[in-house]
Amino acid sequence: RKFALDTEMKVEEFSREVKEYYKIFVESGPKAESNTLDAGLEAMHTSKAKLLDFSSRKEQLVKTEKLFGLSISTFHELKLMEEGIKEYESLYTLYDDYKKALNEYTNTPWLKFEIGQLKKSCEEWIVRVKVILKNREEDRLCQKLVLELSGFNEMTTFLEKLKKPAVQQSHWDKILEGIGREKEFNMKTGKVSQVLELKLQDYKDLLEEVLNQAEQEFRNEETLKEMEKIWRELKLEMSIKKEYEDTPLIRGIEDIRDRLDDCVTRLQYISGNKYVHAVRDKVNLWQKYMNTINDVTECWLKVQSKWIN
């Protein structure tokens, strides 16, 4: 009888401990809507460890109760804790996966950062959160997770644009100046974490303006490179005819004129572009080249025509 009484006292003490912790579980555990996601995740880890400990001790007490023929205690609060943890486990598992992946990406140097894999992960997170959200649209913790992932998904769109080859340090400097964070990021030495800390999604208009400028300047540069390639590869064709004393005569001039007209048109478009500043000197130089080519070929053709006639 003494051992039975001792067991009853242990059960009563254990029951009190469970009830006291259950109050904490309700007020600040993983189900508490007042929690941040980080606080909820920490509470989830703590609660699961606590539940595991409680379950092990309960099992021992139940065995002892059976041994002494005592009524089997149910500890209803443990069942409620287990249900609460199960209800939010998928939510916090997703958030934990998101945090771990984010930590891995944020420690990556900006120049080595592969945006494609991050976008793929983000798409998977969005799918998973939609499954969790079914029939739980009013759940505030679910809403917090949706807001977090949606915001980050939007951020990845900007990260993808910022990773384009068109964006140079000069564009970063303009962005940093616009948000009052000058000299806080160097694309050659910086990390992804530094970019995320800037919270650039809060400056959409500025980003769109600078990114558009970068894209236009890049197109201008590409156009000039293409023109240089054209003229480097273009050959001046000559023909030799005996009736003109084996003198080389220029031929295929129409192709040169067509290329010349096309390049002049392109240069006029670039020079009239509001983003010409970055390539102004190159444009001026190429306009001189085109004028020289035009003058030389016209003079050549006139001399050639007179000589033939």
Identify the band that residue 308 occupies on the pLDDT scale cut at 50, 70 and 90: confident
Over range 206-211, report the average pLDDT: 94
Over range 116-121, report the average pLDDT: 89
Q: What is the pLDDT of residue 174?
A: 95
Q: What is the pLDDT of residue 309?
A: 73
What letter would DSSP give residue 250? E
Higher pLDDT, 251 or 303: 303
Kindly report each contact of residues 142-150 with a partner whose C-beta sits within 8 Å and lies 24 or more positions away, as own/partner.
Answer: 142/91, 144/36, 144/37, 145/37, 145/91, 145/94, 145/95, 148/37, 148/95, 148/98, 149/98, 149/122, 149/125, 150/126
The torsion angles phi and psi of 237, rounded to 5 degrees, stand at: -85, 140
Higher pLDDT, 199 or 167: 167
Over range 191-215, report the average pLDDT: 92
Q: Give ∠ CA 29-34-40 in degrees, rounded to 5.
A: 40
Answer yes or no: is pLDDT of 143 > 80: yes
pTM of the model: 0.74
Q: Hey, CA dihedral for 114, 119, 120, 122, is it positive or negative? A: positive
Answer yes or no: is pLDDT of 128 > 80: yes
Q: What is the pLDDT of residue 59?
A: 94
Q: Quick: pLDDT tens for 73-104.
A: 889 999 999 999 999 999 999 999 999 998 88
